[in-house]
Amino acid sequence: MISFAWPWLLLLLPLPFIVYWLPKKNQSHTSAALIMPQLIASTNVATNRESNKKIPLVILSLCWLLTVLALSQPQWLGDAIDIPTEGREMMIAVDLSGSMQIEDMSLRGSTVNRLDMLKVVLGDFIERRVGDRLGLILFADDAYMQTPMTFDRKTVKQMLDESVLGLVGRKTAIGDAIALAVKRFDAKQKSNKVLLLLTDGQNTAGKISPEQALELAVAKDITIYSIGIGADVMLQQSLFGTRRVNPSSELDEETLTKLAEQTGGQYFRARDSQSMSQIYQLLDQLEPVEQDQQQMRPLTALFYWPLALALLISMLYLLALNIPSFSRKTSSGL
């Protein structure tokens, strides 16, 4: 919406019209030196004179209107946006190992792989974390910082959506992911540091073991919430028919539980998209977002538009006045 910083200046708009309609003093009319016959002073000439007198008045009135409008400081009041507050730092570490392509998850009536389900459900969780600084780590053979700590939740969600399997390898470096999060957390001293670790396997790669990374996390007072992803039962087709298998047999729940409990966090088991959604709802309760949010509405100045228009109209009018005199001078010179 449009607002005015100094709206009281708009009261000056009728000032020229008030002055124009003020009663004028009686002026003595001197007799004309030469009386023109009525036939020569035609009606067309009088009409042209009257119209020529009205044109400057209209132009000057328009310029006055635009100038007063510019002086009142019009500005565009944008939509309200949240001002970042001192909430918490939450790093999200997502497993992109080869096992994340197993299609044992149901989402909206369809069977999808683990990563696709995670993108949808985790994306909703990210959008709710208003006031938190979020970061995204992707790990497989190694751990990489995909998005540094930021209040821009849309960017974090976009980077998550653009992640693909095999981007950083096929194995699982859980220890490296925790160590990288600890390193990134260290830059900000006073905040609640939370690591959300999502994986479907066990540590099979990396330079740092989960036990070593756990010591670093405890020393830096980082809370780890670990989530084990994968169904317990999956029907698999083979040459001998359909058989039931456990697609989460490689999930190291013992280590994930240890990582969470020794840092003051909690371990969760996500067997489907519904249980994953419930886990994120529980996390909203365990680590609530900052409620005292402040908002601001950005202002964009608009005064230069009417001011520039008034300047343009006045320049065009002056130019139009000078063209006839310039033409007469040119013709007389010739």
**Tens-digit pLDDT profile for residues 62-84:** 888 888 888 888 888 877 766 65
CB half-sphere exposure, 207, CA atoms < 13 A: 4
69 with 106, same domain: the answer is: no
User: What is the structure's pLDDT at 300?
Assistant: 84
Q: How confident is the model at residue 24 (pLDDT cuts 50, 70, 90)?
A: low
Rounded to whole angstroms, what are the CA distances from 69 to 10, 11, 21? 7, 10, 22
Distance from C-alpha of 196 to C-alpha of 201, rounded to nearest angstrom: 15
19 with 101, same domain: the answer is: no
- Closest by Cα among 317, 297, 309 to 77: 297
User: What is the structure's pLDDT at 41?
Assistant: 45
User: What is the structure's pLDDT at 145?
Assistant: 94
3-state SS class at 252: coil
User: What is the structure's pLDDT at 42?
Assistant: 45
- Closest by Cα among 221, 237, 171, 227 to 196: 227
Report, as an integer, the average pLDDT of 143-155: 92
55 with 125, same domain: the answer is: no
User: What is the structure's pLDDT at 31?
Assistant: 47
320 with 278, same domain: the answer is: no
Domain that holds residue 64: 2-23+39-78+298-333
59 with 103, same domain: the answer is: no
Bridge partners for 316 per DSSP: none
Examine the pLDDT at 194 and tell me if it is beyond 90.
yes
Residues whose CB falls within 8 Å of the CB of residue 41, separated by 6 or more in sequence, listed in order:
none
168 with 230, same domain: the answer is: yes
3-state SS class at 148: strand
Q: How confident is the model at residue 190 (pLDDT cuts 50, 70, 90)?
A: low
Residues whose CB falls within 8 Å of the CB of residue 86, separated by 6 or more in sequence, listed in order:
190, 191, 290
Kindly report the length of the chain.
334
148 lies in some domain: yes
- Closest by Cα among 129, 83, 124 to 107: 124
Q: How many domains is the chain partitioned into structurally?
A: 2
User: What is the structure's pLDDT at 86?
Assistant: 56
3 state SS for 153-197: HHHHHHHHHCCCCCCCCCCCCHHHHHHHHHHHHCCCCCCEEEEEE
